[in-house]
Amino acid sequence: MIANTKTAAIRVGITGVGSCVPDEIVTNDDIAERAQTSDEWIVERTGIRQRHVAGPGVAASDLASPAAERALARAGITSADVDLVLVATITPDMPFPATASVVAERLGAGQVAAYDLQAGCTGFVYALTQAYATIVAGLARRVLVVGVDLLTKYLNWEDRGTCILFGDGAGAAVVEEVSDGGFLSFELGNDGSHVEDLYVPAGGTRQPATAGSVAALDHTMRMNGRQVFKFATRVMVISAQRVLASAGFEPADIDLYVPHQANKRIIDHAVRELGIPEEKVVVNVDRFGNTSAASIPICLDEMLRDGTVAPGARVLMTGVGTGITWGSALIEWPTDGNNGGSV
């Protein structure tokens, strides 16, 4: 899917962003012995130094709800002003109902539409696209988009190929009509031939939970790291090039590049290929690890709070994740809302 927004009747953008991560920090040294790895290896191969980890009993909605409240406050609205709550997650509170239903209730949003969207680490970009289309079609005036994942709940802490990479978190954005700027183009894709390169075998309808599936650790993540690395580096670049071309821009026209925070080496590769100068690239994977659907909105929240992004800035976001899915959104930051520091 690819489209630019040139012919749309209204401009739609992000007017508020918020995030929430658990307090507990787990460093590389904390996991090194159990996973037979080292801080040095993890930093060199991934750029990750630490991650935030949710404790027992903490679920997706527990991080999603505060992130959403902050986004609403920064947009200067309340949950009563929202028509749709859209939660991108692959780690819901429970198989059903949707975590979006739980979040909408926690926010006191009333009987608004609410559903989850599953696109792995690309979930936030997919959800922004859905929100945009829903608003332009006149189905909603304001959409609350949340990206939340607690992938540490699915880790085998003895599997050094996966447990070093992930952290927990949530990020949220209010999407609505804006008076200037807004989304310029979107590109989304998927290659389902890679399903088993990054997946959790059990717990779904293919292999429901049994004592055997628990004993076999089939409820934990399986990943072909090398394969994912190769595919991710390629599609991060292709997706960015496509979304830019669709809007009539070159990489040099971008003010800020917000790549999915999977691995510093994947980001470095994309930046080199695209020819985007390092000072325009947002990186926080060292402090959060890969927070999946939360990674891009956590970056946006930090950028707004420290003043990195200002109205008029052209921001390119690109995600890649299990599926394998990928997606990019290009936005010109609007002047509306976005009360960065004061909430």
Classify 119 as helix, strand or coil.
Answer: coil
Among residues 4, 163, 260, 299, the one annotated as catalytic is 260
Closest distance between ligand COA and the C-beta of residue 70, in Å? 25
317 forms part of the interface with ligand COA (CB under 6 A): no
Closest CA relative to residue 92, chosen from 200, 224, 246: 200
In DSSP notation, 193-231 reads: GGGGGEE--SSSSSS---HHHHHTTTTS-EE-HHHHHHH
Please name the amino acid found at residue 79: S
Please say which residue, 323 or 340, places its beta carbon nearer to ligand COA.
323
Please say which residue, 76 or 225, places its beta carbon nearer to ligand COA.
225
Measured distance CA(120)–CA(288) in Å, rounded: 17
Please say which residue, 36 or 210, places its beta carbon nearer to ligand COA.
36
- Choosing from 28, 89, 91, 290, the residue that interacts with ligand COA (CB under 6 A) is 290
239 forms part of the interface with ligand COA (CB under 6 A): no
Residues in 84-123 that interact with ligand COA by CB under 6 A:
121
Phi, psi at 248, each rounded to 5°:
80, 30
Annotation marks residue 290 as catalytic: yes
Closest distance between ligand COA and the C-beta of residue 236, in Å? 10
Closest distance between ligand COA and the C-beta of residue 21, in Å? 18
Please say which residue, 142 or 160, places its beta carbon nearer to ligand COA.
160
Question: With contacts defined by CB under 6 A, how many residues of the chain interact with ligand COA?
Answer: 20
Given 3-state DSSP classes, what are the helix, strand and coil percentages for the chain, each rounded to the nearest 5?
A: 40, 25, 35
Among residues 4, 28, 190, 290, the one annotated as catalytic is 290
User: 327 has which bridge partners?
Assistant: 188, 319
60 forms part of the interface with ligand COA (CB under 6 A): no
Measured distance CA(27)–CA(12) in Å, rounded: 39
Q: Residue with CB nearest ligand COA?
A: 225
Please name the amino acid found at residue 137: A
Among residues 121, 190, 299, 338, the one annotated as catalytic is 121
Measured distance CA(99)–CA(95) in Å, rounded: 9
318 forms part of the interface with ligand COA (CB under 6 A): no
Closest CA relative to residue 91, chosen from 162, 151, 2: 151
Closest distance between ligand COA and the C-beta of residue 262, in Å? 4
- Choosing from 214, 226, 248, 306, the residue that interacts with ligand COA (CB under 6 A) is 226
Residue with tokens 């028509």, as numbered in its chain: 83
Closest CA relative to residue 229, chosen from 268, 277, 187: 268
- Residue 294 in tokens: 């939360």
Annotation marks residue 260 as catalytic: yes
- State the residues that interact with ligand COA by CB under 6 A: 37, 41-42, 45-46, 121, 160-161, 164-165, 225-226, 228-229, 232, 262-263, 290, 320-321
Residues catalogued as catalytic? 121, 260, 290
